[in-house]
Structure 1
Amino acid sequence: MSVAPVPHRRWLIAALASVLALTATGAFAGHAFSADVPRGAKVLGISIGGTAAEAADALRTGLAGKADQLAAPLTVRVGEQTATVQPQDVGLAVDVDATVARAVSRGHNPFATLFGGAEVAPVVSVDEARLAAALAPAAQQSGAAMTLPGVAFDGTTPKPVYPKAGRGLDAAEAADAVRDGWLRRGEVEVPLGEKAPVSSKDDVDRMVAEVATPAVSAPVTVTTPKGAVTVSPKAIAASLVITSDPKGELYSRVDAKRLRKALDKELAKVEVQPKNATIDGSGGAPQVVAASGGTLVDTAKLAGDLLPVLKRGADRAVAAGFKDVKPATTTGDLAELGIKEQVSSFTTYFTGGLSNPRSKNIVQIAKEVDGAIVRPGETFSLNGHTGPRGYAEGYYDAPVIMDGKLVPGVGGGASQFTTTIFNASYYAGMKDVEHKPHSYYFTRYPAVIESTIMYPTLDLRFTNTTPYGVLIDTSHTDSSVTVSMWSTKVYDSISTQYDPKRDIQQPKKVVLEDGPTCIATAGSEGFTQDAWRIFRKDGKEIKREKFTWRYNAEPQFMCEAKKPPLTAKP
């Protein structure tokens, strides 16, 4: 066996290098006179050879033919959970111009052309923020959210909330994984990584010492052209927010809305509230009560000016100005919207007087809704109008239904107002969008056509489908709440016709341990019933709508002291 001498091997290598160099030179020279995108280039099987413009047109046409494939939902695995992502919802798409640019770049690279094949991978775009939002529920279930640092207040005592690392979604990594996996795999896996807040325990302690503690050490005097207002430590604690951004970076601010609520009685000394135009029907013929403007302390500016003062131990004073506020509804608005007569009114009754916590809740929510305007085509949301109904918003603990029995809960009684406004909208001819009757039947409400509410999961919503605006007017006595709706009548009358009850079920007796959370009830029958809303116009029935509900039998709950366990005799 003979072996070629070394010089000969060097000649072979040199010859091969020369061939490759000539090939490359020839490729570059040839490409200088060729199209922008090499012939045979494909993206997702779509031929795109030609000029850049021709390639872009060809790619767009080809993608249009794959519209169903590109719009198909994508399954994304996040840890142990999966999420279904709609491409259009997160901006997931093929970037045509960037893909063509990539194909042009490949054409300029002879080695990519020689060894990379004709297929060009598409450039995929995605909205990182929207994708992260779509994957957030799955990430939260699969990972462990980090504890963001902050400072809470127990009365006027600062309570530190220290940071804690967790496992969560990295928005940039998730976007990269989805870009890479879309159109290539049936399921894309997005990794979860450890996420730690950027602020430390020492940062929280520093915030307590430098901001929270001095903030509530003494009141602050707010001077205005109409007199002084005192911001008590309690009001400061209620409006000072010490929290962190999504990365865990601590910051502090005074919340203007909380500040206004905390200073409600103090501000009343110097402010004039605007008054909306309303209709007063108490005298028989409706009378328009004219609107008037108001003068309010600029609490948005005051909140910003107050923060540096809170850090001081002395000279705790700040000046505040006023701003003119126009009424939300003017006399002209009422005329323009055709609000001229009462189209419905409904009253429900309660016991206990106005000092009862449940009654207070009913009156509070009624006040918040009073004067609301629902324009033609608009949908009114009770939860959306009032927002949360908690202690900070002026609500009290009263009985609510939880897990099938009555227990004390903040805002109890709001369902009575919900039933009242639902019936007022029902008899005004509004379109029912969302309402849910109680699980048990209460005789103080009309069967089937009544509604409960729970912020934020259960809402009451109706749409004004008439060509006129609707003004919601609320009033109360010490034993009743009334909701009236003013507009222009579209129907002669709206009435309710009931079918007989069916599938009647008797209540069972249930013994509960006596205590502050046990509320005894007499129980009630369970049954199913239909109610028909009947619309009449020009003296005849023009349509009817069916409402059906099944009430569970409410057990007869009895509160009894827990019996001591039996002990064996010696």
Structure 2
Amino acid sequence: MVAVAAGGLYVAGLVATGDDISAGTRVDGVDIGGMSRAEAEAKLTAEAPASWKAPIPVRVGDGATTVDPAAAGLTVDVAKTADLAADPSRDPFTVIGRLFSPGEREIRPVLAYDAAKTKAAVADLAEQNDRTVREGSVAFREGRAVATQPVTGRKLDTGQAAETLRAAYPAATGAAAVNLPVSVTEPKLPAGEVNRFLDTYAKPAVSGPVTLTAGDQRLRISPATLGDHLTVKNDKGRLTAFLDDEALLRDPDVARPLAALTNAPVEASLGVQDGKVVVESEGRQGHEVTAKALGDAVRPLLTRSGDTARTAPVATRVTEPELSSGSLARLGITEQMSTFTVNFPTAPYRTTNIGRAAELINGSLVQPGEVWSFNRTVGERTPANGFVDGTMILDGSYRSAPGGGVSAMATTVYNAMFFAGVQPVEHGAHSFYIERYPAGREATVAWGQLDLKFRNDTGKPIYIKASATDHSVTVSFLGTKKYDSVEAVAGPRTNITQPVKREGTGEACVPQPPLEGFDTTVDRVFKNNGVEVKRETYKTHYTPRDEVTCKPVTEDAAGR
């Protein structure tokens, strides 16, 4: 009878709970009791709890954001969850037991993880939230003090962050943000030190100009100029400023007015009398401000406020001229090494341009080993530098251009250099021959393209004396001869080529007569005690000078 009764209960239990999932079964609050697996899976999909899809709030250091769980590969596997919820056994004891204990069951959802998506989501978090440590500093820009505040560096631990995200899913509604693990790098300099230096030094330093006085002269240095030469360094956790005295002294905004504030020494003017170098006029002392004196005057003013407090005297010192009666023998400027004169047809532009070049070159003192440069000494041939338009060779023809005629000075310097026996560094001849110059022994210059340079290899200083009239220019080198004499031996003209005739146009056109082109050589012969000790050969190629006639400019053409 007992067996029959038990069998009846078992059958009754199967009938009462014939579905896969027993009554009262829930998954995160979703009732799937009494359903088949397929029905439970459909319901869990349709009525999934909000927490399964809700963004997970996270914190990365001091930054807060959220993570989309699906994008991060964090989901619920509803099929496996339904399988888990299904009754694990259909044995008689379990089936009969359901008839007498139909209580509720809460099933945890089965989670699915896509490791690749989780890794990608964490990488995105790192890209958005990682930051490099930034050190605090102060800089000076356009006359203003600009602070860069320090920033703490942080780096997301991506491996641990992935595990933390998995553990946090699914997040309950209203759950606190999950702290993702980060490593932190603190800046070496705290914000307090940046602000201290900014307020106590940097801002006052450029709060206004500083004024330096020398006698009754005044020099104002602007905040922008001061800032250009102030640098800030971190000295063991404390910001300090450095004023570059040398750079400040060289700054044109300081150097130009400082030159007016002081006066350079005037060098003695030298000449030659009876073959010996003599002083034609004595030099004069000057005064200068050294870089140290400039820095010593400026530094104390930088932390002061107000025009009066930012004004102070600057020390000057006496400077002696290098050339004087007493220094000639010591320097070795005792004899005329060479002299050369070039004659030229009188023309107003030649008088102006050659005279100006002579003025700029005269008195040049070239130290042993120094390279002298025509372009550096004379400067660009512009109206601002005292030059006017004149005739010169451009593209194989005479043209009118600023500085025309200075090739006469270049040729004169070249020959003085040639016969002084010093080392040429750079020179170039005219493209075609000009009859008033010695063939193969002449030079031209062009700003930014061609220079005339020589190196003083005599071991003693060389003084260059230059003078010009309206029809000639003379250059002499004074110093100590390295050779008793230097001679020029001209070779024959070869490779003769004939000019052609062509017509030029435009206001800059200058007529020119024809002249054949040719090649030539010049030997530079060095002698001591009448014996040749060295010989150098210079080769020059001249193109033909074409005959050029200038087509008159018509009124119509001029109007265009």
TM-score, reference length from structure 2: 0.48
Question: What's the TM-score, normalizing by structure 1?
Answer: 0.47
Between structure 1 and structure 2, the one with the greater Rg is 2
